């Protein structure tokens, strides 16, 4: 039975992506006790699935390493993975949270030696790679996973494979009898760092994400470029594994669109500009990137990055919201149709691969959180006095880049500390 010790001076952080980790660490490094709840099997969130950051082109897992080291040596943070908050009752400074823990079927004895993974035969889609590849049904979520502990996929429970995994483990770490459990604990304030999800690209009918194999999303493209990804870092297109050298990036795929997401998702322009660098990194002058855009939103000193990409001869900018995409059955190429509005030029241009710069929407619409929370028209949590000691952090509060998400998370940590310090003063 999982035991969580918490009081109404404890801060509950929901979501273990970069925002949640930051909020938890900042508060804990200020001497506060924190429970960090993450629904996946490992911390890190979407950031851990990115290949590089804009504008520095550094690797997100570098920051993840630092944050994990901070976490490992900080006894004030209790991490619950595969956990979801199902209910919060009470009021500011005196909440009671109910958290559902899904069975991992692997206990803390796990050394991540990998023998269970070798033993099982079944494979399941690898969510870390946006299901672009498969992974053994006993797996480590990813190479940097924290906790560094395997997971047994529920689909093999009750099969011979599960027994093989159990037999392969010399350390008694595989526990097939684990059951879902529910824990309750107190918290003075709650930080919702539930993050974002890519907009469902299949809903953008004219781009054919659901029909054309060579139309992928920007988050999937990150996995293609990453050494830990399904192609081991090679930019190969899904239909035939051919090197994708001529790549189109379609901006505002879902964003700034009353039919989809009303807001601008802020990061997508920079993400595509960054991804043209992946093409250059892979193919040099032989690569070709085309960015179809409405406005390039390279805000503040990101402008430097935009200007640098503009100087790259392999990158073309076309001011146009693409009208439709059609994949040629024979060649696998995707032809984009539309009009360049700068002077009215029609185009029907073939590309090896089309990347949709999909928008951000809240991972959990604020209305669907197990608490009363005021949100904006897109479902992001707003700062509002009627939210009492519920605070949005990172992309749960707005479409933000990593830098701004971390600022937001740091700010939310202070707001939560204000509440628990007030509680502490009252309680003496």
Is residue 29 at the binding interface for other proteins, with CB under 8 A as the rule? yes
Is residue 109 at the binding interface for other proteins, with CB under 8 A as the rule? yes
If the CB atoms of residues 123 and 295 are measured against other proteins, the closer one turns out to be: 295
Six token digits for residue 392: 């949005």
Is residue 303 at the binding interface for other proteins, with CB under 8 A as the rule? yes
Q: Answer yes or no: are the C-beta atoms of 247 and 354 closer than 8 Å.
A: yes
Residues 327-366 that bind other proteins (CB under 8 A): 337-344, 346
Residues 181-210 that bind other proteins (CB under 8 A): 206
| Rounded Cα gap, residues 219 and 49, in angstroms | 8
Q: Which stretch binds other proteins (CB under 8 A): 6-14, 184-192, 282-290, 418-426?
A: 418-426
Q: Among residues 238, 202, 204, 199, which one has the least CA distance to residue 221?
A: 238
Member of 74, 155, 182, 368 binding other proteins (CB under 8 A): 74
If the CB atoms of residues 330 and 385 are measured against other proteins, the closer one turns out to be: 385
| Rounded Cα gap, residues 298 and 304, in angstroms | 8
Q: Which stretch binds other proteins (CB under 8 A): 37-45, 91-99, 126-134, 289-297?
A: 289-297
- What is the closest distance, in whole angstroms, from the C-beta atom of residue 156 to other proteins in the complex? 22
Binding mask 147-186 for other proteins (x = CB under 8 A): -x---------------------xx---------------
| CB neighbour class for 294 (10 Å; exposed up to 12, middle 13-18, buried from 19) | middle
Residues 6+ apart with CB under 8 A from 118: 136, 168
Residues 6+ apart with CB under 8 A from 343: none
How crowded is the C-beta side of 214, counted as CA atoms within 13 Å? 30
If the CB atoms of residues 85 and 120 are measured against other proteins, the closer one turns out to be: 120
Member of 102, 132, 323, 335 binding other proteins (CB under 8 A): 323
| Rounded Cα gap, residues 32 and 293, in angstroms | 45
Size of interface with other proteins, in residues (CB under 8 A): 104
Q: Which stretch binds other proteins (CB under 8 A): 90-98, 120-128, 195-203, 397-405?
A: 397-405
Member of 11, 322, 358, 423 binding other proteins (CB under 8 A): 322
Q: Which stretch binds other proteins (CB under 8 A): 95-103, 124-132, 235-243, 288-296?
A: 288-296
Q: Among residues 327, 331, 325, 328, which one has the least CA distance to residue 240?
A: 331
- What is the closest distance, in whole angstroms, from the C-beta atom of residue 52 to other proteins in the complex? 9
Is residue 414 at the binding interface for other proteins, with CB under 8 A as the rule? yes
Residues 6+ apart with CB under 8 A from 350: 246, 328, 331, 333, 334, 335, 336
- What is the closest distance, in whole angstroms, from the C-beta atom of residue 73 to other proteins in the complex? 6
Six token digits for residue 138: 């006993």
- What is the closest distance, in whole angstroms, from the C-beta atom of residue 304 to other proteins in the complex? 7
Starting at the edge strand that comes first in sequence, how are the strands of the sheet with 83-91 ordered?
83-91, 94-101, 181-187
Six token digits for residue 71: 């976490």
Is residue 307 at the binding interface for other proteins, with CB under 8 A as the rule? yes
Is residue 92 at the binding interface for other proteins, with CB under 8 A as the rule? no
- What is the closest distance, in whole angstroms, from the C-beta atom of residue 400 to other proteins in the complex? 8
CA distances 314 to 288, 299, 317, 322, Å, are 5, 23, 10, 20
Q: Answer yes or no: are the C-beta atoms of 74 and 30 closer than 8 Å.
A: no
Q: Which stretch binds other proteins (CB under 8 A): 174-182, 195-203, 350-358, 378-386?
A: 378-386
If the CB atoms of residues 7 and 148 are measured against other proteins, the closer one turns out to be: 148
DSSP state of 119: H
132 in helix, strand or coil? Answer: coil
Is residue 73 at the binding interface for other proteins, with CB under 8 A as the rule? yes
Member of 7, 131, 159, 407 binding other proteins (CB under 8 A): 407
If the CB atoms of residues 239 and 320 are measured against other proteins, the closer one turns out to be: 320
Length of the chain: 428
- What is the closest distance, in whole angstroms, from the C-beta atom of residue 272 to other proteins in the complex? 14
Six token digits for residue 93: 């400074």
């Amino acid at each position: 039975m999982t035991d969580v010790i918490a009081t109404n001076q404890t801060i509950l952080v929901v979501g273990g992506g970069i925002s949640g980790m930051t909020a938890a660490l900042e508060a804990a490094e200020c001497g506060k006790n924190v429970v960090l709840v993450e629904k996946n099997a490992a911390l890190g969130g979407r950031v851990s699935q990115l290949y590089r950051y804009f504008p520095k082109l550094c690797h997100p897992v570098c920051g993840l390493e630092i944050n994990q080291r901070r976490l490992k040596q900080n006894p004030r943070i209790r991490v619950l993975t595969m956990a979801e908050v199902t209910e919060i009752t009470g009021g500011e400074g005196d909440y009671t949270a109910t958290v559902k823990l899904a069975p991992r079927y692997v206990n803390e004895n796990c050394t991540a030696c990998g023998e269970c993974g070798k033993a099982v035969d079944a494979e399941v889609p690898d969510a870390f790679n946006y299901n672009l590849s498969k992974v053994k049904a006993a797996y480590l979520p990813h190479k940097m996973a924290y906790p560094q502990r395997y997971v047994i996929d529920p689909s093999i429970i009750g099969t011979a494979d599960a027994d093989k995994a159990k037999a392969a483990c010399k350390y008694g770490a595989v526990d097939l009898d684990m059951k879902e459990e529910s824990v309750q604990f107190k918290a003075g304030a709650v930080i919702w760092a539930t993050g974002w999800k890519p907009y469902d690209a299949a809903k953008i009918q004219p781009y054919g994400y659901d029909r054309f194999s060579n139309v992928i999303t920007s988050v999937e493209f990150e996995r293609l470029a990453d050494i830990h990804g399904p192609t081991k870092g090679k930019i190969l297109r899904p239909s035939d594994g051919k090197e994708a050298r001529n790549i189109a990036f379609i901006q505002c795929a879902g964003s700034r669109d009353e039919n989809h997401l009303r807001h601008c998702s802020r990061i997508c322009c920079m993400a595509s500009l960054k991804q043209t660098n992946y093409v250059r990194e892979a193919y040099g002058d032989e690569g070709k990137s085309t960015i179809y855009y409405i406005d390039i939103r390279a805000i503040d000193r990101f402008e430097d990055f935009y200007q640098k990409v503009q100087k790259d001869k392999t990158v073309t900018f076309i001011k146009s919201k693409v009208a439709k995409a059609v994949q040629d059955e024979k060649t696998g190429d995707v032809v984009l149709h539309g009009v360049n509005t700068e002077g009215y030029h029609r185009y029907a241009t073939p590309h090896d691969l089309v990347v949709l710069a999909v928008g951000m929407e809240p991972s959990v619409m604020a209305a669907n959180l197990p608490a009363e929370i005021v949100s904006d028209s897109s479902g992001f949590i707003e700062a509002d006095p009627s939210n009492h000691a519920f605070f949005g952090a990172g992309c749960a509060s707005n479409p933000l880049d990593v830098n701004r998400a971390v600022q937001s998370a740091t700010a939310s940590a202070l707001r939560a500390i204000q509440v628990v310090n007030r509680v502490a003063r009252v309680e003496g």
